[in-house]
Amino acid sequence: MCYTSAQIKPNLEHLSAALRQIGVVVAATGLVTGVFNADQVSLSLGITLGGLALIRVASLEE
- pLDDT 10s digits, 13-31: 777 777 777 777 777 776 6
How many Cβ atoms sit within 10 Å of the Cβ of residue 50? Answer: 20
Q: Where are the domains of the chain?
A: 8-61
Q: Which residues contact 39 (CB under 8 A, 6 or more apart)?
A: 33
Higher pLDDT, 22 or 12: 22
Please give the Cα distance from 39 to 41 (Å, whole number): 5
Are 43 and 31 in contact, with CB atoms under 8 Å apart? yes
Please give the pLDDT value at position 50. 73
What does the pLDDT look like over 33-58, one tens digit per residue?
666 666 667 667 777 777 777 777 66
